[in-house]
């Protein structure tokens, strides 16, 4: 029963709430919860659909055609990937739900699953809940935070059923190349390992969104999760999707249909409207994030951290200077002394111990105040 622990941010937010209750105003640069609004068209579509009394019933497990077709158009327009909306797209109540569905569909006791270190903790938690054995694969800065597929191929992979990947990568902000995706697909085929790419950050600080499904042969060995949480500022709406060949999607649907009762119809119709956002909407979003990113760079320089300025996604990943033994020590001191919370990289795996991660989900003025606080006490 103790296979997984409470999510780090769940416990840390309790600590921050306790500080707030004592009158200490904490600037939280930890969680990546977008603070910007969805497009006006998405909000209008939600309001209009919610006002219709016929739109409040249970919905289909596979989502309405309008949403599946909107996802297909979005993938064709932005990723250059053609998907059949009838059977190659499965809307989800957030892509985090999809991680659990995929794990429960394909893993069982005795199986092994490859999990990135550092990486999103939910990959590990969901895999462990199935009874499978987690095998870390190491990511490091020297290799651009990409897995060493040649080294992995020299290990015993006979029990490995699934490999979680996530590019643009969280927490490091590293990006994959088309060549890497092609090599990853070959790796999956060679070892009969299902590759699952979690792709929620491809529109944030990224001029060329990319999907693993654009790699030749990917449809036969790969699935992709995507989400509107980050790309469309709809985190609380819980709208995600799974894309892949019809056989894989049908496999996951068999499990999913026992776990939920569909997605609220007005949310589906609003999501379809959001997926039609024009290019200038994304450009404006990224202009805001670039302004914020520059402020976070200033904050991290003040702390003596080193980082790449080419990171993608809504965080900045930075190496801790020798003053602190690890990211936990830096995070704790900055929280207690400056009342600013920055995430320690170790929560994402042992490879993150010497790093911290700062979120871009606050107004520029908030970052300015954080810089002032840190400058006064550290």
Q: From its phi and psi, is residue 92 left (phi > 0), alpha (psi between -120 and 50) or beta? A: beta
Same domain, 48 and 190: yes
Domain boundary among 274, 299, 316: 274
Cα-based distances in Å from 294 to 107, 138, 307, 342: 42, 29, 12, 16
Does 1 score more than 50 pLDDT? no
Asked if pLDDT for residue 267 goes beyond 90, the answer is yes
Domain boundary among 274, 303, 330: 274
Are 120 and 357 contacting, i.e. CB atoms less than 8 angstroms apart? no
Give the chain's end-to-end CA distance (angstroms, integer).
Answer: 42
The lowest-confidence range among 13-27, 133-147, 215-229 is 13-27
Whether residue 142 is found in the same domain as residue 216:
yes
Taking only the tens place, the pLDDT of each residue in 49-63 is 999 999 999 999 999
Tell me the β-bridge partners of 227: 240
How large is the average pLDDT for residues 167-171? Answer: 97
Q: Within a domain: residue 2? A: no
List, for residues 34-52, the tens digit of each pLDDT value.
Answer: 999 999 999 999 999 999 9
Residue 13's pLDDT is what? 81
Structure tokens at 359: 């979120």
pLDDT in tens, 188-235: 999 999 999 999 999 999 989 999 999 999 999 999 999 999 999 999
User: What is the pLDDT, as a whole number, of residue 15?
Assistant: 87
Q: Directed axis angle between helix 364-377 and helix 327-338, to 10°?
A: 90
Please give the pLDDT value at position 5.
60
Q: Please compute the mean of the pLDDT values over residues 103-115 and round it to a whole number.
A: 98
Q: Which residues contact 178 (CB under 8 A, 6 or more apart)?
A: 210, 214, 215
- Evaluate whether residue 368 is within a structural domain: yes
pLDDT digits (tens, 9 = 90+) for 86-106: 999 999 998 899 999 999 999
For residue 289, pLDDT over 90 is answered with yes
> Which of 254, 274, 294 is the C-terminal boundary of a domain?
274
pLDDT at 119 over 70: yes
* pTM of this structure: 0.95
Q: Are residues 269 and 325 in the same domain?
A: no
> DSSP per residue over 97-128, as a string?
HHHHHHHHHH--TT-EEEEEES--HHHHHHHH
Q: Are residues 210 and 70 in the same domain?
A: yes
**Neighbour order of strands in the sheet with 315-319:** 315-319, 355-359, 343-344
- Asked whether residue 77 is domain-assigned, the answer is yes
pLDDT, position 12: 80
Q: Across the chain, where does the E strand assignment appear?
A: 27-28, 89-92, 112-117, 133-138, 160-165, 194-198, 222-227, 240-243, 315-319, 340-341, 343-344, 355-359
Whether residues 246 and 336 fall in one domain: no
What average pLDDT does the segment 247-270 reach? 94
CATH number of the domain within which 337 lies: 3.90.1150.10
User: Is 35 domain-assigned?
Assistant: no
Residue 315 domain-assigned?
A: yes
- The kind and range of the H/E element at 327 are helix 327-338
Residue 316 sits in the same domain as residue 251: no
Query: What residues contact residue 335 under an 8 Å CB cut-off, 6+ apart?
Result: 26, 341, 342
Mean pLDDT on 347-370? 97
Q: Does the pLDDT value for residue 9 go beyond 80?
A: no
The half-sphere exposure of 17 on its side-chain side, counting CA atoms within 13 A, is 6
- Does residue 1 belong to any structural domain of this protein? no
Which CATH number goes with the domain that contains 236? 3.40.640.10
Q: Report strand pairing: 160-165 vs 194-198.
A: parallel
331 shares its domain with 295 = yes
Residue 8's pLDDT is 74
pLDDT of residue 315: 98
Pair (255, 294) in one structural domain:
no
Cβ proximity of 71 and 275 under 8 Å: yes
Q: Is residue 250 part of a domain?
A: yes
* 290 and 199 within one domain: no
Q: Give 81-98 as a DSSP string.
A: ----TTTSEEEESSHHHH
> In this structure, are 18 and 95 located in the same domain?
no
Element (H, E) at 190: helix 178-191
Same domain, 324 and 201: no
Residue 3 in any domain: the answer is no
| Total domains present in the chain | 2
In this structure, are 96 and 229 located in the same domain?
A: yes
Distances (CA, A) of 139 to 170, 288, 314: 12, 30, 20
| Domain extent for 298 | 8-30+279-377
89 and 68 Cβ atoms separated by less than 8 Å: yes
């Amino acid at each position: 029963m103790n296979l997984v622990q409470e999510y780090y941010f769940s416990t840390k937010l309790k600590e921050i709430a306790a500080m707030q209750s004592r009158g200490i105003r904490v600037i939280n640069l930890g969680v990546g919860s977008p603070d910007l609004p969805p497009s006006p068209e998405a909000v209008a579509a939600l309001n209009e659909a919610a006002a219709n009394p016929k739109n409040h019933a249970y919905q289909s497990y596979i989502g309405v055609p309008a949403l599946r077709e909107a996802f297909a158009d979005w993938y064709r327009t932005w990723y250059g990937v053609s998907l059949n909306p009838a059977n190659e797209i499965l809307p989800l109540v957030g892509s985090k739900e999809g991680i659990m569905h995929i794990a429960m569909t394909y893993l069982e006791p005795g199986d092994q699953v490859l999990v990135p270190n550092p990486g999103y903790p939910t990959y590990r938690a969901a895999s462990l809940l199935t009874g499978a054995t987690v095998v870390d694969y190491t990511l490091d800065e020297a290799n651009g935070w990409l897995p060493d597929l040649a080294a992995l191929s020299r290990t015993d992979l006979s029990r490995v059923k699934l490999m979680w990947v996530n590019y643009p990568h969280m927490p490091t902000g590293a990006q994959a190349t088309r060549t890497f995706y092609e090599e990853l697909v070959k790796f999956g085929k060679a070892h009969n390992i299902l590759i699952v790419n979690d792709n929620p950050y491809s529109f944030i600080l990224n001029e060329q969104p990319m999907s693993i499904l654009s790699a030749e042969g990917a449809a036969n060995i790969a699935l992709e999760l995507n989400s509107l949480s980050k790309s469309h500022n709809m985190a609380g709406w819980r709208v995600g999707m799974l894309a892949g060949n019809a056989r894989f999607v049908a496999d996951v649907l068999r499990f999913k249909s026992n776990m939920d009762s569909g997605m609220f119809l007005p949310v589906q119709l609003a999501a379809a409207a959001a997926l039609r956002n024009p290019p200038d909407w994304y450009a404006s979003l990224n202009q805001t994030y670039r302004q914020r990113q520059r402020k976070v760079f200033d904050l991290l320089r003040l702390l003596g951290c080193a980082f790449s300025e080419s990171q993608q996604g809504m965080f900045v990943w930075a190496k801790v200077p020798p003053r602190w033994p690890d990211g936990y020590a830096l995070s704790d001191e900055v929280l207690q002394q400056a009342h600013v919370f920055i995430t320690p990289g170790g929560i994402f795996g042992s490879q993150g111990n010497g790093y911290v991660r700062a979120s871009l989900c606050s107004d520029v003025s908030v970052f300015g105040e954080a810089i002032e606080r840190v400058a006064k006490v550290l």
